[in-house]
Amino acid sequence: MSSYCDINTLIKDEKTHPFLTKRIENWKVGCSVGTNARSASGCLTDEELACYSSYKLGSTREKLDESLADIYQPQNSISATFDSNYQTTMLTGIVWAALGTTVLYYAFTKI
């Protein structure tokens, strides 16, 4: 990931950053000024907010990079892979049908 801070280490560190996931949810809906940042109903500290923002920007950037790769390199995209598999399946079906009808034709004309 392209963020400078790993949010998972902060989430696992309950001693230094207690109730981090709950405080992130509080921050998303809005915090009141003056609440205790270390309590379950509090807001994020500046350090935690910077780490969370970096994490969200990094994950959003990764999604954007994947989308741009699909646009600029369509031969390597997921949809191109699915399309190639679909075309291969259809072509294989046509070949099997042609082979089957040829075998049946020769079986009935030679008998």
Domain locations in the chain?
Answer: 1-72, 77-111
| pLDDT tens for the 111 residues of the chain, in order | 455 777 777 777 776 676 777 777 776 777 754 455 555 557 777 777 788 888 889 889 999 998 888 788 877 778 888 999 999 999 999 999 999 999 999 999 987
Nearest to 80 by CA among 91, 64, 69: 69
> CB count, 10 Å around CB of 7?
22
Provide the pLDDT for residue 42.
Answer: 72
Burial of 49 (0-12, 13-18, 19+ CB in 10 A): middle
- Do 1 and 55 contact (CB within 8 A), yes or no? yes
Per-residue pLDDT reduced to its tens digit, 5-32: 777 777 777 766 767 777 777 767 777 5
Rounded distance, CA 85 to CA 94, Å?
Answer: 14
